[in-house]
Structure 1
């Protein structure tokens, strides 16, 4: 088995008397999509923020990058390693066009300081084509884009830094069917390009469509690591809820009983 590009061991995080993470392990390989699952309050957001450098983990845990120990004490450390995070709010500027959003804070300049609009637009087209994304006009305000297109712009902006691990926080939340399919296609593109992807989602259909593994957290602790191909929906839900008897398994039982009665 190859060495994970990112591996966390024994990561804990406390906020006062609250232990949000308790000795959590997580790893992701290049070219792999790992779904990070758990109920509200399970610790998913805290773990993502630790990886992104927004929170510092408590002492005692370890982080490895390509098998070598590293420290992530702030967002700059995560970015230098090659970790990109796309949060649910996307952090886009609605009044700016797509090109301006892609290069916001990282503009290409002409000497003595004027913006190189031609080079930025060329690079934007190049990046979107590499992702098999079609957006007819890069000079329209982001406010005019669909939810799926906005998500794609946010992902593309993160890729300008040439990351090796991309974390996506609920990327298909509130999207329609067609827009969701577009974003899932892009996640598959990232995997095919050899990136490690950590997908935080409550949508099990999306998880089963693109993820290779599911890492489940419950009450801040590891509750299971499952290969998607060989694991049932009910098993994953049981790990999330901590109970084999839950609404999903009860519904499945009713359906099975109804099918047997109809024979």
Structure 2
């Protein structure tokens, strides 16, 4: 079973820190007063149902959207990334649920997509295919991913395997923070376990990981910190030491609201008007 690291963040500057961050789209509140810390060698899980604000949070951290109020810090420096490229240059790599891959291209080509090394000069300059093949195979093995053939089209891999390739790619290109958008949402139990194993491998490689999920069981398997969002606000912020899986699941399911609903269903609506 994959288990969380035992590292402690006491006294260390977070790789990424959001402090009382809010985001509005006109009169619509997407996030309000949300805080978050991401430390090296730890996994911070952000949980919430649809509409909780998880997507907006990702977009702010990834540099797609700028926050309206509050503070966003990367390694202690106040920042307002203007683009995903700027966030990536600062070490934040985001892997979305709908992976941006070219299904008919081989695994090695997708691994280097947009960052292809070349050899030669002038009119003889060309892609260094041998280097890309060797590097892809070596980096996947370093993460514990043993593909039969890096020349196979990436579209022939399972959803879990494609997620793992994306994680290995982020590690190879020097990410310090890895943001994963619902990586297990469309996967079965076995494939989800494979992905969580490589999420833990990224953490063990020293990265700070943000795992966005609606599944408290997956979160609790690997998480060090848990931030629960509901309708754009924080309704829970815990370390692994101060919450059990049962309590995390209960808070995720609605907590007191769920108890009220259970009581109402058990007692019934009562007699109607005569």
Normalising by structure 1, we get a TM-score of 0.89
Q: Give the CA deviation at 1:67.
A: 1.7
Partners of 2:33 and 2:82 lie apart in 1 by 18
Q: Is the 8 A contact 1:33 1:199 kept in 2?
A: yes
SS at the partner of 1:185? helix
Report the counterpart of residue 57 of structure 1 in structure 2.
Answer: 67
SS at the partner of 2:55? helix
Choose the corresponding residue for 1:216, options 220, 228, 232. 228
Q: Is the 8 A contact 2:167 2:199 kept in 1?
A: no
- 1:1-263 equivalences under 5 Å are 1=10, 2-58=12-68, 60-112=69-121, 113-240=125-252, 242-246=254-258
Normalising by structure 2, we get a TM-score of 0.86
Q: Give the CA deviation at 1:240.
A: 3.8
Partners of 2:91 and 2:72 lie apart in 1 by 14
Aligned residues: 251
What are the superposed Cα offsets for residues 51-93 of structure 1, whole Å, 9 maximum, x if unpaired? 10111111x3211122222221211221111000000001111
Q: Is the 8 A contact 1:168 1:198 kept in 2?
A: yes
Q: Is the 8 A contact 1:71 1:77 kept in 2?
A: no
Q: Is the 8 A contact 1:101 1:157 kept in 2?
A: no
What are the superposed Cα offsets for residues 102-157 of structure 1, whole Å, 9 maximum, x if unpaired? 01111011123211001111111221121011111000011111111111122222
Q: Is the 8 A contact 1:26 1:215 kept in 2?
A: yes
RMSD between superposed Cα atoms in Å: 2.1
Q: Is the 8 A contact 2:66 2:80 kept in 1?
A: no
Q: Give the CA deviation at 1:49.
A: 0.4
Q: Is the 8 A contact 1:148 1:175 kept in 2?
A: yes
SS at the partner of 2:145? coil
Unaligned residue ranges in structure 1 (runs of 5+):
255-263
SS at the partner of 1:183? helix
Q: Give the CA deviation at 1:224.
A: 1.4
Q: Is the 8 A contact 1:223 1:240 kept in 2?
A: no
SS at the partner of 2:100? coil
